[in-house]
């Protein structure tokens, strides 16, 4: 039997490939973006209690009311945006599912979707499966800022959706208020919708403010805003996220969601609702928690031949390896894993057309000090 693939450009994700290679060679895995420390104790206790209380059956399709109400309260507190918990918030099985649902809900065959490279690798497959076409606009290769004139030039009568991601994966770059004004100007008086990937919303540094589109009513009125509990509460394996969108967009989003996963792991929803209500200082202090890790890791990297780039937000550190090797990034990451025992992620899979002379790889510092110390000890010998 011959199968004509619907995703001809897709193979096994680079995260799976590099994590498998790390296991095979007993490397310190700073590639895939998951913390290796414990979830907050209150969250674990609330999860266990929910299961003991028998909250183990299907949750409501849109998410349990207590969690949606907690998300609405947090959104008002963080961004001054009042959202309707019933009509605008949907709990999903991770941010990736929410992104997929949003794209499938509004992108039709022949539509164009603007993505900003380097971009997360699940964006384009979702666009392809919807019958759309991803239009890639490159960010600045040095600081990963947006050239909004390039975005304007990419807009066509077929443009249906525009992706943004702040804080940005893989670079950690962040959009500011001026960027939001540019975005609003581009989509004003058009039918273009926005998908704002904000999964690292609480991991911001140096006193900066996360500029969610929810702060801007003009943008919020046409946007899907995607968030992740896994990134905020150190439990990426639970795969729980959510989408905030205007009622009309939420209605379309839920049409896809209900036939994709229908609902999301119920005991975790009760645990997250309790966590937001009882321990709001966790998300409020998350930036400071990770800033200490960022700063320590950057100091440690000074003793290596890798050059760290600035990290405004998120929990990834880009490093320039050009003083070590002329290899392309994928080959360098394989060499670093196999020969030196540290796993990184190349940037080229995040691009349609990678910059030809770029020599950058991504390291994750969301790790225990022992893990980072072990990695640095090996990197110092490179």
Per-residue pLDDT, 242: 98
Give the per-residue pLDDT at 1: 87
pLDDT at 143 over 90: yes
Residue-level pLDDT at 159: 98
Q: For all residues of the chain together, what is the average pLDDT?
A: 97
How does pLDDT run across 93-113, given as a tens digit for each residue? 999 999 999 999 999 999 999
Cβ(138)–Cβ(16) below 8 Å: no
- The mean pLDDT value for 147-168 works out to 98
41-279: CATH class: alpha beta
Q: Is pLDDT above 90 for 23?
A: yes
Cis ω for the linkage preceding 118 (within 30 of 0) = yes
Question: 32 pLDDT band (50/70/90 cuts)?
Answer: confident
- CATH tag, 14-39+284-379: 3.90.1150.10
Residue 11 pLDDT > 90: no
C-alpha–C-alpha distance, residues 379 and 371, integer Å? 12
Determine the Cα–Cα distance for residues 357 and 180; give it in Å rounded to an integer. 30
Arithmetic mean of pLDDT, 268-285? 98
Q: Tell me, what's the pLDDT at 12?
A: 87
Q: What is the mean pLDDT of residues 306-312?
A: 98
Mean local confidence (pLDDT), 123-137: 98
Distance between CA atoms of residues 40 and 271, nearest Å: 11
Tokens read off for 167: 């804080």
Please tell me whether residue 121 adopts helix, strand or coil conformation. Answer: coil
Instruction: For 183-238, write each residue's pLDDT tens digit.
Output: 999 999 999 999 999 999 999 999 999 999 999 999 999 999 999 999 999 999 99
Per-residue model confidence as pLDDT tens digits over 315-337: 999 999 999 999 999 999 999 99
Q: What is the pLDDT of residue 292?
A: 98
Domain edges within the chain: 14-39+284-379, 41-279
pLDDT tens per residue, range 43-69: 999 999 999 999 999 999 999 999 999
């Amino acid at each position: 039997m011959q199968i004509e693939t619907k995703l001809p450009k897709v193979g096994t994700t680079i995260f799976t490939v590099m994590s498998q290679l790390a296991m095979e060679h007993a490397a310190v895995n700073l590639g895939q973006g998951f913390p290796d420390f414990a979830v907050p104790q209150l969250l674990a206790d609330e999860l266990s209690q929910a299961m003991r209380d028998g909250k183990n059956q299907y949750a409501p399709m849109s998410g349990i009311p207590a969690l949606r109400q907690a998300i609405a309260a947090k959104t008002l507190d963080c961004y001054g945006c009042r959202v309707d918990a019933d009509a605008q918030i949907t709990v999903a099985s991770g941010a990736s599912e929410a992104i997929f649902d949003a794209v499938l809900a509004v992108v039709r065959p022949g539509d164009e979707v603007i993505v900003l490279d380097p971009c997360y690798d699940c964006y384009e497959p979702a666009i392809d499966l919807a019958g759309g076409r991803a239009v890639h606009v490159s960010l600045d290769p040095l600081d990963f800022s947006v050239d909004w004139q390039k975005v304007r030039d990419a807009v066509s009568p077929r443009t249906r959706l525009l992706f943004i991601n702040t804080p940005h994966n893989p670079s950690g770059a962040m959009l500011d208020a001026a960027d939001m004004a540019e975005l609003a100007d581009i989509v004003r008086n058009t039918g273009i919708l926005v998908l704002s990937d904000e999964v690292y919303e609480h991991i911001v540094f140096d006193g900066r403010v996360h500029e969610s589109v929810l702060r801007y009513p003009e943008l919020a009125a046409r946007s899907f805003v995607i968030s992740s509990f896994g990134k905020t509460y150190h439990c990426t394996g639970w795969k729980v996220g959510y989408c905030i969108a205007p009622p009309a967009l939420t209605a379309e989003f839920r049409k896809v969601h209900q036939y994709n996963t229908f609902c999301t792991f119920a005991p975790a929803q009760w645990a997250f609702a309790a966590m937001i209500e009882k321990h709001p200082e966790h998300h409020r202090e998350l930036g400071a928690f990770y800033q200490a890790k960022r700063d320590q890791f950057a100091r440690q990297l000074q003793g290596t031949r890798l050059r760290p780039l600035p990290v405004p937000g998120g929990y990834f550190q880009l490093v320039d390896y050009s003083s070590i090797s002329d290899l392309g990034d994928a080959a360098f990451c394989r060499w670093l894993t196999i020969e030196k025992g540290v796993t990184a992620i190349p940037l080229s899979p995040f691009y349609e057309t990678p910059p030809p002379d770029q020599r950058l790889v991504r390291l994750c510092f969301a790790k225990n000090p022992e893990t980072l110390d072990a990695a640095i000890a090996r990197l110092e010998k490179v």
